[in-house]
Amino acid sequence: MNSKSVDLLNGSICKCIMQFSFPLFLGQLLQQLYNLADSWVLGNFAEQEAFAAVASGGSLSFFVVGFVGGLGAGGGIIISRYFGADDRDNVEKAIHANVMFAIIASAFATFVGVTFIPKMLVLMDTPVEVLPYGITYFRIYFGGITTMVMYNGCMNIMRALGDSFHPLIYLIISSVINVVLDLVLVAGLHTGVVGAAVATIVSQGISAVLCINRLMRAKDYTRLQWSKLKWYPQMMKQVVVQGLPMGIQNSVISIGNIVVQRNINLFGSYAMSGMGAYSRIEGFVFLPINCMSMSLPTFISQNLGAKKYDRAKKGAAFGILSGMIFAEIIGVIFRLYAAPLLRIFVDSDKAIEYGVIHSGISSLFFFLLAFSHCAAGVMRGCGKSIVPMVTMLSFWCALRVTYVTIAIQLRPQFSTISWCYPLTWSCSTIVFLVWLLTKDWVHSFERKI
């Protein structure tokens, strides 16, 4: 363990989780700030159609990125388990298996994104005036997606070992470079979506190089050595078993969101811009949710690997409750100041109106969203990633698609779409709560539940 790693197995549960989560929080905050800067530059120095294309394509890009990211996160949980059990041989194998997996996954993501994403933009009924911008942006974005996949894969390895500090530093460097390139390429040279895509790829590439270099300079058994980079059948199987449900969950949920986005697109470019601006602000709501849902799998997996069951239970309770409280506080603030916050990104009253409608419906239910994500993090940490996968696919995809498809026909108003989120968050919360209270999940590594 390096000097910047957090000991999650000993000491105050609250202190060590917060100490591990704080760099994650700062990293997520920084990422949101540079996303805001990216959106602000694009929204103010490019056509509205360019901003609408990039903003509305988030769920589409997540279809591929989320799948690969889920696989990588699953591999990180495997590393955490062996690290907590002090099984050094398997930690070493798991690290190299994860890097090999990231290389393979990056090739897969590039092929799928470049080949199919333009076709999916058409299937989403993207307005004709927006479509060319979306195709251009995502072709460039997925052409360089290797940089993002490698960064996320190496970042998951470091976090699994308790190091959330160095990923933060590399993210700071990447964010500054991204903003500078946005200003130069988009604001200065007026390259629009092309400049925005290039800025993202270059900045992510630099962070990926920094992460790989860090892993190669480790002084102990956690060091990355290219000579040991090979296919470890048993370890690869564990990575896939743990990560595949997470990847499938992310991708299929994104399909549900694509269907929702398709219905939003039917209301025109103002609705797309308004919801795009809303999604940028909503990203701040996800800060406490994301940092806890990313911290909990590592904390739970390490402590269960070390057979510290009571500590795992207390950590789960603290993480879930903290995420809910912070998310709801931010949700209330968002509800009160939605219009001026949305105006940061769009200056059209009509677009802002759509964003205000959506925030007015969803913002007070963010505590349910937090519970679902944090509870899912606990389940993944104990090796039960299939449970959140099935639950979220059932509600966040199947129910969401069914509701939107039927409800929009019965009540063709924009607010009808917005209600699909509180509805599905509520359903998943009920299932997760029952599961956590009735299952002996702390012994999941010793026997099946």
What is the structure's pLDDT at 438?
93
Phi and psi at residue 124, in whole multiples of 5°? -80, 5
Q: Which residues of the chain have pLDDT under 70?
A: 1-4, 34-36, 48, 55-60, 446-449
Q: Which ranges in 85-191 belong to alpha helices (H)?
A: 88-123, 131-143, 145-160, 165-182
What is the structure's pLDDT at 3?
52
Q: Count CB atoms within 10 A of the CB of residue 332.
A: 13
Per-position b or e across 235-272, b if 16+ CB within 10 A of its CB = bbebbeebbbbbbbbbbbbbbbbbbbbbbbbebbbbbb
What is the structure's pLDDT at 58?
64
What is the structure's pLDDT at 448?
45
Q: Count CB atoms within 10 A of the CB of residue 104.
A: 14
- Do the Cβ atoms of 74 and 239 come closer than 8 Å? yes
**Distance separating alpha carbons of residues 425 and 332, to the nearest angstrom:** 17
Q: What's the farthest any 2 CA atoms get from each other in the chain?
A: 63
Could you tell me the CA-to-CA distances from 88 to 156, 212, 308 in Å, in that order? 18, 20, 19
Phi and psi at residue 9, in whole multiples of 5°? -100, -10
86: burial class by Cβ within 10 Å (0-12, 13-18, 19+)?
Answer: exposed
**Distance separating alpha carbons of residues 251 and 370, to the nearest angstrom:** 20
DSSP state of 183: I
pTM to 2 decimals? 0.77
| Run of H or E residues at 325 | helix 309-336
Degrees, nearest 5: CA angle 230-235-236: 70
**Which residue, among 200, 255, 272, has the nearest Cα to 56 in the 3D structure?**
272
Both tokens assigned to 414: 């924009």
What is the structure's pLDDT at 138?
86
**Distance separating alpha carbons of residues 273 and 49, to the nearest angstrom:** 9
